[in-house]
Structure 1
Amino acid sequence: MNFLKFAFFCFAASVFAGPLLINQLGFNPESEKFALVPGSDANDAEIRDMDGKTILKIKAPLVYDWNYSGEEVQTYDFSSIKTPGVYRLYRGGEYLGNPIIIDNHAYENLTKAALKWFYFQRVSAPVDYQYGGKWMRASGHPDDKVIVYGTDESTKKGYEEATGKKAPKELKVISSPKGWYDAGDYGKYIVNSGITVFTLLELYENFSSYMDTLSWNIPREYKNYPAILEEVRYNLDWMLSVQDNDGGVYHKVTTLAFGGPVMPEKDGAPRYAILKSLTATLDFAATMAQASVVYKKFDKAYAEKCLKASELAYAWAKKNPKALYKQPSDVETGNYTHSGEDAKDEFRWASAELYRATKKANYLKELKENPFTNNGAWWGDVNMLAVFRVALDEAFPKDVKDAAKKVMMNEANNLRAVGDSSGYHLPAFDWSWNWGSNSAMANNAMVLLHAYLLTKDKSYVDGAQQVLDYLIGKNPMEISYVTGFGFRSPRKPHHRPSQCDLVDDPVPGMLVGGPHLGKQDINLDGKDAWKCPNYASSEKPALAYLDDECSYATNEVAINWNAPLAYVAGALQAIYQGISPSVKK
């Protein structure tokens, strides 16, 4: 693009006439391309290039209500424009909003940044200037001397209350370095690592020919690995360190309470490996089984190590089917549990991954005895991860595959129907508007993309495109929810390094949690001065967002939110480039 021409055009063009809600990064030539205009004053429009030449005329669209924001909106479809370039949408001779960009590689830098953020989250290592630039930082949390919770005098009472067992007599310390900081805080959690690692490895498995060639600026220890597998191994190594000799896996490595807003090297409170749990152990088993398949091509010894750890963990889970995590009274960090938890979904996922990795009959038997549900994916329900695995892998018998395909396609078709009838064309259910709503949207897009991998029906790609459009600008807040990307993006995420590093710009590539009406961080009674003002007074979930460090409910970041962002952006880029998916149906 000729920048001087663009700048002159901005100043010389007609008066700006209002918002245009669009994907702020741009569109691939082959993608579905929608722009939204709030309001009911439907008028004809036209798309002009930067020389002012009319490229497309669009008739006045229908007006739709969107309940999640309380708006009337109208959609302009310019999918027929396939020539890369920069354009404007005009109505009545005046242009709306920001420029429209069409680019063959619109999502490649986004994919790289979403993946590189995991490097910025590395524990026990510095972010060096040559890799992190102005976001460099010192190493934090060596975690080479982590106390096993309940074995020191200060936590024995809490251990006994939580487990109903007598605390061990001797102090136990383990070495548990590496891994990723889970979110805006400095904890490391197995449950959340499980779905995160799955999603990143799934991106590699589904699009290996694309990911084999994609690289970004991170330190390389295993130079025969693709970059994504280098990064994922950094977390897998930590996960392996929290498996006990009996196969059980500690739920998390954290301090007893959340630390304050300081850089990681300043957070010096004792770190604990806190309680072995059923869900953590099964998530570990599933992840390690998947890793054993993926890494076998590059590192046979490491793959075998992962598989051995996986089978040992699964055996522990079978022996301890009631060992659900209970948060001790003296522990305040994230508990990663939910009401109604029974671990059936974790058993389902682990047995599916282990059967693929080993072909052992007992895992298939247990998978068949634990039928798929219709539940979508989040850390608290990993049923859909098992569905993805079985539906798209030739290792499974036809009857089990058919059951998985039915669940997946039913969910995908429901999502597409919602998107087609939605004012914002967003494939979202009512339950999608919860803590981490942006992640729920991205996980919905993953369902649609898996349906595409199964059927090659481009309508599912279109649905995923609408999700990505929403995340990076086509939303009522007129913001890209990814730091550093788009015309407007979050400036004050709830992320300790970004809050404390004295750099004006937040670490780039982070997907913030997004709007919802949970109000967990709002100062409703006026007594909690450190909480946020009531930004959700409208009672519309799509408007309940605040770009402020206080808003941990809407503006925090998390590894399990960035992973599906990376999957969706990377998958769409690969598909539009015509790169064949790597699935064995």
Structure 2
Amino acid sequence: MRKHLLAALALAVPTFAIPLVNQLGFAPESEKTVVIPGNDANPLEVRDMAGNTVLTLEAPMVYDWDYSGEEVQTYDISSIKKPGTYRLYRDGYIGNPVVIGENVYEDLTKAALKWFYFQRAGMALDTRYAGKWARAAGHIDDSVTVYGTDLPTATVVAQSKGKPAPKKADPKIIKSQRGWYDAGDYGKYIVNSGITVFTLLELYEHFPAFMDTLQWNIPREFPKMPALLEEIRWNLDWMLSMQDKDGGVYHKLTSLKFGSSTMPEIDGAKRYAIEKSLTATLDFAAVMAQASRVYAPFDKAFADRMLKASGAAYYWAKHNPKALYKQPSDVQTGDYTYGGEDGKDEFAFAATELFRATKKKNYLNDLSAYKIRSDGPWWGDVNMLAVYHVALDSADFGAKLGGAARKALLAAANELRAVGDTSAYRLPALPSSWNWGSNSAMANNGIVLLHAYYVTGDKSYLDGAQQCLDYLLGKNPIEMTYVTGFGYRSPRNPHHRVSESDFVDDPVPGMLVGGPHLGKQDINLDGKELWKCPNYAIADKPALAYIDNRCSYATNEVAINWNAPLAYLAGALQAIYVGHANAVVK
């Protein structure tokens, strides 16, 4: 079954079962597991590079994994703690070396964070910082039309509704510079920026001393500011430009349709700031309040500006609670909406961060009226982002709210860990995790488990987070890391317009691709084939439904909200295992 399916995915299939393991390695004190497909009864030997046997394990029970249709055996080699390189033997040498070391995730963390520099809009990437991936500036966005205020667009919309064209009026123009390209396309989206910026700011909030030690090569406009905060500010500046004078925030900045695979400077489609929305405004309010706290020691004026903008956004949202985004008929770019959306989780997210920043009781009162749940996190449900900080700062929020948040957090974490403890791959993944951006779901599952570790100190949650990272870095049925440029085998052809058109064979390192799932949105829609991704359509198991091909936007695209949890997960585990756990563990 396994050999047949992997061949169908056009992947190389070995003649023996290769051990599936985190290809970057492990910290000495971390949990370390190896998955070997099949049901071989031979023991597993671990030898050092001198050929000495350091551990022998008898064959464990055989488990079936429904997500791949495999039989596998899982070996725990956690007792090996001495840094070094090791080989695995089972009836002969098998697989790639296994590394144990102090700083195995530091380079990954830096690359995952530097990728945001490569996503910068409105800026030329110089060879001093971008190397062979240097490119010209595109999408300066210094003259962006507010959607519906220019005559051609207004006329099209009016005519589509059978109404007369409006009288000629000057279009409303704004400057909306900087920001990150959202994904493989050239749009900039407030909703997706919300969870992305939150996650990156949390990494700095939780591990400031560790993050201050990390440097990666980016241009420095604010040299006294930590590198991570310097990068995040590029996007915060853009987000601030998307706020209207009344406090409302435009949902996105895109062209009317997705552009083709061209370099940014060649893509000349007209760009629009499209409609103010409740969700965008509240996500904006939340991260601006959060950022005001983080940036205050480095730039108080900037922090004060963000807090003022946050308060204005929250005020607008309170007075426009029904202003959910509705995609105009002539706009085809991502809408970042979903069925049943009501904005309640965004209100909780914003109220949480504004209370943390101001300690004003009106925000606490609003949050107290919200029913805390154990759902999320993803851009469509930011409930868990509120849960994180209420649980961690329960003394500030009060016993009732703090207790509810802690209960919700541990309920989510316990469900994940129960699956991780008993499944074939030891992966804390739920059926809902196998969706578009499944790799992001795995990373966010790890972040849920890390927060449970912070509030309890229970290492089993830390082990669960490690298993999530292990999956992303090679302990998976595809036998590859899902991060470009890392591990023994990694994606080469991401769905990413710059990568598709820059004439550079190697993709930028540090990009997390979306990952496998059965949605196949890029294969079939209403029975009609959209793309011809070779052999990908026949995969019938979610953990195998992936192809490393630029045509597969459903499994091989990249996105800022996928890279942020990768950076957090890798960075947090690295920080904790080098001695920074006391920064967050209660």
Matches within 5 A, 1:156-175: 156-157=154-155, 169-175=169-175
Matches within 5 A, 1:135-284: 135-157=133-155, 169-284=169-284
Tell me the residue number matched to 2:35: 36
**Residue identity opposite 1:440 in structure 2:** A
TM-score between both structures, scaled by the size of structure 1? 0.95
Q: Report whether the alignment pairs 1:431 with 2:429.
A: no
Q: State which of 81, 98, 101 in structure 1 corresponds to 2:99.
A: 101
**Residue identity opposite 2:543 in structure 1:** A
Tell me the residue number matched to 1:415: 416
**Residue identity opposite 2:557 in structure 1:** E
Tell me the residue number matched to 1:12: none
Shift of 1:395: 2.5
In the superposition, relative to structure 1, how do residues 172 and 524 fare at CA in structure 2: closer, same or farther (>3 Å)?
closer
Matched residue pairs, number? 569
Distance 2:432 2:104 in 1: 30
Tell me the residue number matched to 1:118: 116
- Where 1:74 maps in the other structure, the secondary structure is strand
Contact 1:146 1:173 in 2 (8 A): yes
Tell me the residue number matched to 2:56: 57
Shift of 1:155: 1.6
Deviations 1:161-183 (A, max 9, x none): 89x99979431110001000000
In the superposition, relative to structure 1, how do residues 338 and 157 fare at CA in structure 2: closer, same or farther (>3 Å)?
farther
Contact 1:522 1:534 in 2 (8 A): no
Contact 1:90 1:96 in 2 (8 A): yes
**Residue identity opposite 1:207 in structure 2:** F
Shift of 1:526: 8.4
Shift of 1:85: 1.1
Deviations 1:278-315 (A, max 9, x none): 00000000010001111111111111000000000000
**Residue identity opposite 1:459 in structure 2:** S
Tell me the residue number matched to 1:3: none
Shift of 1:96: 1.5
Distance 2:53 2:523 in 1: 48
- Where 1:229 maps in the other structure, the secondary structure is helix
Structure 1 window deviating more from structure 2 (450-459 vs 302-311): it is 450-459
Distance 2:389 2:582 in 1: 15
**Residue identity opposite 1:136 in structure 2:** A
Distance 1:239 1:351 in 2: 19
Contact 1:282 1:347 in 2 (8 A): yes
Shift of 1:529: 6.0
In the superposition, relative to structure 1, how do residues 238 and 584 fare at CA in structure 2: closer, same or farther (>3 Å)?
farther
Shift of 1:399: 1.3
Structure 1 window deviating more from structure 2 (190-199 vs 534-543): it is 534-543
**Residue identity opposite 2:426 in structure 1:** H
Shift of 1:103: 1.3
Distance 2:41 2:435 in 1: 32
Matches within 5 A, 1:350-499: 350-393=350-393, 394-499=395-500
Deviations 1:253-274 (A, max 9, x none): 0011000000100101111000
Deviations 1:91-127 (A, max 9, x none): 12x1111111111100000000000000000000011
Contact 1:278 1:325 in 2 (8 A): yes
Shift of 1:157: 4.8
Shift of 1:523: 4.8
Tell me the residue number matched to 1:557: 558
Distance 1:166 1:232 in 2: 42
- Where 1:211 maps in the other structure, the secondary structure is helix
Structure 1 window deviating more from structure 2 (75-84 vs 529-538): it is 529-538
Structure 1 window deviating more from structure 2 (41-50 vs 574-583): it is 574-583
In the superposition, relative to structure 1, how do residues 134 and 305 fare at CA in structure 2: closer, same or farther (>3 Å)?
same
Contact 1:536 1:545 in 2 (8 A): no
In the superposition, relative to structure 1, how do residues 185 and 117 fare at CA in structure 2: closer, same or farther (>3 Å)?
same
Distance 2:165 2:336 in 1: 24
RMSD: 1.9
Shift of 1:581: 4.3
- Where 2:94 maps in the other structure, the secondary structure is strand
Contact 1:17 1:95 in 2 (8 A): no
Structure 1 window deviating more from structure 2 (232-241 vs 130-139): it is 130-139
Contact 1:43 1:61 in 2 (8 A): no
Deviations 1:324-371 (A, max 9, x none): 000001101000000000000000100111111111111111100011
TM-score between both structures, scaled by the size of structure 2? 0.94
Contact 1:415 1:429 in 2 (8 A): yes
Tell me the residue number matched to 1:312: 312
